[in-house]
Structure 1
């Protein structure tokens, strides 16, 4: 059995500097998971590991667009299950383009990076709103070690889970020190 992957295997994903995250928070750490799309075998290995660690049955995979589509699709392909993706529309995550969940379906939610987990919480609400049942969340990187409130009910597995603090811009130590900021994945990036 291959050894589990770790942060050491993701050195090209985990960057240090001064970054604006998608959440709007500032951090000294940024996770550029899109580089993994360039290596399908590596993406498959990561998704295989996540599914093995999750160890739960599910009927369908849902991933939020855009960053998690590749990983969600690969988890669905490996498990032989349907794949759906949600999109932000009207301020929240929604299934569109003829996609839908059926009542009672067991749903695996796949995300690339969790910081505040706001998007995952929206997807969980979307699943529950369709009378489907979330049975797990898989993520490549989770930027905190403290559990999210929903983890008591819906288990979360990740390749890397460690504290990577984020700061409100007004309280950012790097901003206070005059360090320039990069916004490589922020919704605010141009």
Structure 2
């Protein structure tokens, strides 16, 4: 339990745990948002938080760590550094996740996907599909914060599980109050219905 308290304290210290009214990439709204880029700007803090994840995955016989761009790139690098494993990243081209830049996946390679935050699991699932299409064997996802309550089809190894209230855009109490402006903090492009 102490580890969870430490992670929350680090996130708050770095202004990475935001309070307000946020538009998520799913189109839903929330009252809190985890902006891991704010903690990842401090290598010592990233090392400390991700060492908790390394403890959970170090015995999984991992060949490759893959982080979806943007959020997973620094996380994959730090996990790979601590594990002594190769790291690469996937990225979107024309809104489709791909492995580019001459990166390769060896057939049968045991792969852990690295994310900053798992919310809906969309990027993770897209990345898994790409990697398995190249012959890789995805064994799970490692992340700083796990927000999902859904089964995304693979184990999630996180430094912390965070419960954040999420609302449908047409039934959001924050919109109904009208006191806090809606902010889109993430990097994924999409169209909001509201």
Q: TM-score w.r.t. structure 1 length?
A: 0.88
Partner residue, 2:161: 161
Q: Secondary structure at the match of 1:99?
A: coil
> Moved runs in structure 1, 4+ residues, more than 6 A?
none
The count of residues paired between Structure 1 and Structure 2 equals: 183
Distance, in Å, in 1 between the alignment partners of 2:49 and 2:138 is: 21
Kept after mapping to 2: 8 A contact 1:54/1:136: no
Structure 1: unaligned runs, 5 residues or longer? none
Kept after mapping to 2: 8 A contact 1:139/1:158: yes
Q: Secondary structure at the match of 2:71?
A: coil
Distance, in Å, in 1 between the alignment partners of 2:67 and 2:147 is: 18
Q: CA deviation at 1:49?
A: 1.3
The one of 98, 101, 105 aligned to 1:97: 101
Q: Secondary structure at the match of 1:85?
A: strand
RMSD in angstroms over aligned alpha carbons? Answer: 1.8
- Give runs of aligned pairs for residues 31-110 of structure 1, distance below 5 A: 31-55=34-58, 56-110=60-114
Distance, in Å, in 1 between the alignment partners of 2:47 and 2:133 is: 31
Partner residue, 2:9: 8
Distance, in Å, in 2 between the alignment partners of 1:35 and 1:180 is: 21
- 1:30 matched to 2:33? The reply is yes
- 1:185 matched to 2:186? The reply is yes
Distance, in Å, in 2 between the alignment partners of 1:187 and 1:24 is: 11
Distance, in Å, in 1 between the alignment partners of 2:175 and 2:189 is: 17
**1:23–1:175 Cα change, 3 Å:** same
Q: Secondary structure at the match of 1:164?
A: coil
Kept after mapping to 2: 8 A contact 1:106/1:135: yes
Distance, in Å, in 2 between the alignment partners of 1:33 and 1:84 is: 19
Q: CA deviation at 1:22?
A: 3.0
Q: CA deviation at 1:135?
A: 1.4
Kept after mapping to 2: 8 A contact 1:23/1:186: no
Stretch of structure 1 that moved more, 14-23 or 114-123: 14-23
Kept after mapping to 1: 8 A contact 2:11/2:39: no
Structure 2: unaligned runs, 5 residues or longer? none
**1:142–1:169 Cα change, 3 Å:** same
